[in-house]
Chain A
Amino acid sequence: MSEKEIKNSGAERSRSLEEIFEARIARDEKIEPKDWMPEKYRQTHIRQMSQHAHSEIIGMLPEGNWITRAPSLRRKAALLAKVQDEAGHGLYLYSACETLGISRDELYEQLHSGKAKYSSIFNYPTITWADIGAIGWLVDGAAIINQVPLCNTSFGPYARAMVRVCKEESFHQRQGYEIMLTLCRGTEEQKAMAQDALNRWWWPSLMMLGPTDAESIHTEQSMKWKLKRKSNDELRQQFIDQTVPQADILGLTIPDPDLKWNEETGHYDFGEIDWDEFWQVVKGHGPCNKERLGARVDAWNNGKWVRDAAMAYAEKNEKRKVAKAS
């Protein structure tokens, strides 16, 4: 065989491996970490799962801002539990991601250097207590819509992590809505605070579901791999349709003059989303990008001596055990 022939048969072999792989996914079989997979599948999953994990970790920061100032012990306990859940979700996802052969250290490095992205919504500030209600109701609400289909995604460790995440997420949304409900049934000032939070979080929540289908570069491949079951625009419509009646119950007004029920389509029509704002925030120019990443990097650097001390202690104990045994 000539060199060229050998190369060709190599390419053929990998094409047929890829066909077998795609057929497995089409049959709804799961892919496990040690199975053969196309390099692009591995890279796409590392990108999406790590972005997801980073979002959970950075997502603790805007809410953590209010733990010490929660208005009651009940609210404080709930908020602490929620933020602890976000940490847990980040950890499930990081370890699922590590099964693809990337180390935790590399993942952190990508976040800290700004190479990896996280959800742009966490670059907005939480300036009043009502923001904690709005985040639970809207941001977690949008996250649930995004995440439920992922429980059936093709990569086993990701799907399993998402089942756990989704089970825990519904408390997050309910506690947020309860905060909004309490404010809306309170004084005029409290209700105004809730309305103000909705005004500021509504549009970023819609953007959170991702660029429009026409702009979304990864959608087609992700659909094939079941990393996505519905397009961004479908998910956004679903979010709007389910959230508008919830705002009505609160007696709040969605800040969109073009929003109205469309009898013909059975969906709400809505106004233009300011995608310039979205891309600005993604590119690092949101109100809190620097602050969020700065806080994360500080926490990591300032914790280094603790991690080193724990490792030194573990090694000393191990040596002691060995000395005793010999």
Chain B
Amino acid sequence: MSNNKKNWPLWEIFVRSKNGLEHRHFGSLHAADAEMALENARDVYTRRNEGVSIWVVESKNITASNPEQNGELFEPAQDKVYRHPTFYDLPDEVKHM
């Protein structure tokens, strides 16, 4: 058993600081399973009441975009200024719109 060693996998930790706010990525940690990841996350990331809810996701299950392809990925939004309210000309008499 000693030769075929298995390390605890890496987990990403998301914490909701208070109700009404979204869960936010806080960092990561190693744990044997999801339950232990939750308990470790409590001790590592919420020692001072920083949270009311914790999500843990095994890091290998996250698919991330590649920054080298940011051009192709985000380019389609760049020339669509008409998606912003300031694109439209309105007379000054129209207030609050």
How many chain B residues sit at the interface, stated as a range, is: 20 to 34
Say whether B61 faces chain A, with CB atoms less than 8 Å apart.
Answer: no
Say whether B10 faces chain A, with CB atoms less than 8 Å apart.
Answer: yes
How many chain A residues sit at the interface, stated as a range, is: 20 to 34
Q: How many A-B residue pairs lie within 8 Å, measured between CB atoms? A: 54
Q: State the majority secondary structure of interface residues on A.
A: helix
Residues of chain A contacted by B1 (CB below 8 angstroms): 308
Q: Is B33 a contact partner of A91 (Cβ separation < 8 A)?
A: no
Residues of chain A contacted by B7 (CB below 8 angstroms): 103-105
Q: Is A314 a contact partner of B32 (Cβ separation < 8 A)?
A: yes
Q: Is A88 a contact partner of B32 (Cβ separation < 8 A)?
A: no
Residues of chain B contacted by A314 (CB below 8 angstroms): 32-33, 36
Residues of chain A contacted by B84 (CB below 8 angstroms): none
In the complex the two chains form, what is the Cα distance from A35 to B36 in whole Å? Answer: 31
CB distance from B6 to the nearest CB of A (A): 5
- Known: A91-B44, A96-B27. Contact between A310 and B68, CB under 8 A? no
In the complex the two chains form, what is the Cα distance from A294 to B64 in whole Å? Answer: 40
CB distance from A195 to the nearest CB of B (A): 34
Q: Is A88 a contact partner of B64 (Cβ separation < 8 A)?
A: no
7-48 of chain B: CB within 8 A of chain A? 7-8, 10, 27-30, 32-33, 36, 43-44, 47-48
Which residue among A81, A95, A317 has the maximum number of chain B CB atoms within 10 Å of its CB? Answer: A95
Q: Is A98 a contact partner of B6 (Cβ separation < 8 A)?
A: no
- Known: A311-B8, A314-B32, A314-B33. Contact between A35 and B67, CB under 8 A? yes
Q: Is A32 a contact partner of B47 (Cβ separation < 8 A)?
A: no
In the complex the two chains form, what is the Cα distance from A125 to B32 in whole Å? Answer: 35
46-97 of chain B: CB within 8 A of chain A? 47-48, 64, 66-68
- Known: A161-B27, A310-B8, A311-B6. Contact between A92 and B44, CB under 8 A? yes
B residues apposed to A, CB below 8 Å:
1-2, 5-8, 10, 27-30, 32-33, 36, 43-44, 47-48, 64, 66-68
Q: Please, could you name 9 A-B residue pairs with CB atoms under 8 Å apart, sorted by A?
A: A85-B47, A88-B43, A88-B44, A92-B44, A95-B28, A95-B29, A104-B7, A311-B6, A313-B33
